[in-house]
Amino acid sequence: MSIERHHPKFRHMGPFYINRALINGYIDRVEIEPSGIIRVMGWSDADINSKNFPQVNLDNRSVPLLQYYRFRRQDVSSGASPVPSQLGLAIEYLLLEDMLAPAKLLEVQFPSEGGLTFTFEADLVFIRAHYHPLLSSAIVRHREDIYAFGPPNTALHEDVLELAKCVQGPVLDFGCGRGVLLRKLLEEGTDAHGLEIDSEVMRTSIPPEIRDRITLYDGCFPAPYADASFRSVICSEVLEHIPDYRAAIADMARIARETVVLTVPDASAIPVGFRHGVVPWHLLESTHFNFFNQQSLKAALEPHFSSLEFGRIGPCLVNDTVFYVSLAVVCSKHRVSRQP
């Protein structure tokens, strides 16, 4: 058995290059997806025989074979293949759930080549991706399985928290869910309250220690607060869910004495990501009624506020393009004068 060991100058997640001719084709590289897929890439003009596939080990544990497929490679041509235009070959392996921990050693062994082994040392970090069963499940999924919804989110984006820290209390979290942001504001010493639509899910998911801070109501406007009840209103990733968004904006402007802070998904991320074939999946959530860009949100807000200051949160990097998943806007009822 011969061994070829590779020590990348910088530890990374690949690709790891093999560039080796084999009996029935050629292996270029090994690609690693953080979701747990290890993909051996190459080409072959012979009939596929999985018995000749390499064995993949991660930190000395065997990674199960998931599947293989052909694809078009314009740099390779032959009439010998059963599918002449599809000579590219991808062999995929999927880590078991308990193998998603950080790893150091990747081995790719070719028994059909006398046990030829390629060993790569790197810092390999994996994630438990959303909808992980879609990688391997044999069940046919339906729309309600993918574009579903459930209890309010328990996570809080740090950009939203930083925006919220800038407002003055008393604060109303308009559409507060189970009160994740509300709790953070209270911990910061801010006088904060929440408003949410009444439902069995909400009644059972709100933590008891902040229950008295949250008003559950029927979702109709006006909300059960007097005019100018709060100095500030925060509405984060909620307005897109409200069919009558104009009434919601007017009601927030009524309730706030000074400032309303809004964040919504940015629909302009769709054409920005178009050339990469990417749409931020949060934009496609099944309960979204409204899709805003900065211009349309500005037009909806201007009748109610003296000044608007727009920002972006949720940076996303796709290849060489950086865009933001959400719009953020600070709406002031009284025009802010800036010192020169």
pLDDT tens for 223-241 read 999 999 999 999 999 999 9
pLDDT at 335: 58
Bridge partner list, 292:
266
What pLDDT score was predicted for residue 96?
94
Count CB-CB contacts under 10 A for residue 10: 6
Q: Over range 93-108, report the average pLDDT.
A: 94
Asked if residue 42 lies in contact with residue 158, where contact means CB atoms within 8 angstroms, the answer is: no
Considering the chain, what is the average pLDDT of its residues? 87
Q: What percent of the chain has pLDDT over 90?
A: 60
Q: How confident is the model at residue 7 (pLDDT cuts 50, 70, 90)?
A: very low
Rounded to the nearest 5 percent, the helix, strand and coil shares of the chain are 25, 35, 40
pLDDT at residue 4, rounded to an integer? 40
- Would you place residue 65 in the very low, low, confident or very high pLDDT band (cuts 50, 70, 90)? very high
Burial level of 216, CB count in 10 A (0-12/13-18/19+)?
Answer: middle
The whole-number pLDDT of residue 293 equals 95
Domain boundaries along the sequence of the chain? 3-137, 158-332
Class of the CATH domain delimited by 158-332: alpha beta
pLDDT digits (tens, 9 = 90+) for 167-209: 999 999 999 999 999 999 999 999 999 999 999 888 988 999 9
CA triple 9-12-13, angle to 5 deg: 140
Whether the predicted pLDDT of 319 surpasses 90 = no
